[in-house]
A = this chain, B = another copy of it.
Amino acid sequence: MAPPASSEPDRLRSSRTQAPSAGLRRDLEILELLANADPQGGLGVSRIAEILGREKSQMSRALKALEAEGMAERDGETLEYRLGWRLYALAARGGETRLVQIATPYLRRMVGALNETTHLCVLRGSAVLTLRSVSPSHAFRGLGWEGVTVPAPMTSAGRVLVSDWEPQALRSLLAEAGTLPAGPRARAADDLLAEIAGIRRRGYAAVNEEFEEGLVGVSAPVRDFRGAIVAAINVSAPKGRLGSRLDDAGRLTLTVAQELSAELGFHPSGGRPLR
């Protein structure tokens, strides 16, 4: 092309070539921004455009579309945007609502007994997704880990969730998750298999600073009416607070998980039918 005249506003300046599914990515950037917004500092069109480095006009139109679909809402006064009802409806409907609702009182009981934060986790792909967290009072700014995922084989909850998989499936899980930024040390498959054998025997899993320095935790499986493991109850805390009573916590977690499983219709008589 012609050499760029300095005064000429060259629009070719490596600007963003449109990528496939750019619209989706743009919309999600916006939603992410709205989700993390400070409630005080409002987000208007210009501010959003500035932060994302995009055109005002696009943001205006994209936000209008998002609003029309219920994914965003606008304050009539300040013209600022926020997340819309539909996002919550989607998450609530799609999430294991029933499971979360039923499990919450059990989590509260755990918190009451241990005075530590308790989580309900499920498996999403090869990662552990925390659906619900209940914290005792000393956890300021709860900042629930809800929605955060971590690779499965590293955590007690993850190991519980895959504890009835076939050895072969476990190996491929390791292969998949192992490519992620590895933890302190890559666990060999045999290690994991032995660990899981222990989990089956004891009924609960415990980790001791494996996932994160200074962090210990226990998890126990929750089964549905078919006997399939559908979730894990997990307690995590600094080693100084929970380390000394880790086994007690494990047994309690197992007990509570069994009661929750019973409420879900699990009947322990039958063998291990599925999965």
A interface residues (Cβ-Cβ under 8 A, vs B): 20-21, 23-25, 27-28, 31-32, 34-40, 61-62, 65-66, 68-69, 71, 73, 75, 77, 80, 82-98, 100-102, 104-105, 108-109, 111-113, 115, 124-127, 129, 131-132, 134-142, 144-149, 151, 165-166, 168-169, 172-173, 175-177, 180, 224-226, 264-265, 274-275
Contacts and interface: CB of A to CB of B under 8 A. Distances in A.
Q: Name which of A20, A73, A77, A115 has the most chain B CB atoms within 10 A of its CB.
A: A73
Given A69-B28, A87-B90, A137 B113 contact: no
Contacts of A25: 69
Given A94-B87, A100-B39, A109 B176 contact: no
Contact of A90 (B31, B98, B226): B31
A52 to B, nearest CB: 15
B124 A65 contact: no
Interface on chain A toward B: helix, strand, loop, or mixed SS?
mixed
A206 to B, nearest CB: 23
Contacts of A86: 28
A127 B137 contact: yes
A115 to B, nearest CB: 7
A93 B98 CA distance: 19
22 contacts: A21-B68, A23-B23, A24-B65, A28-B69, A31-B94, A35-B89, A35-B91, A36-B94, A37-B97, A38-B97, A73-B125, A85-B264, A88-B91, A88-B131, A88-B146, A88-B265, A92-B225, A105-B166, A124-B142, A125-B135, A126-B136, A137-B151
B23 A172 contact: no
A274 B138 CA distance: 27
A119 to B, nearest CB: 12
B175 A226 contact: no
A275 B94 CA distance: 18
Contacts of A71: 24, 28
Contacts of A97: 34-39, 82-83, 226
Nearest to A41: B144
Contacts of A80: 101
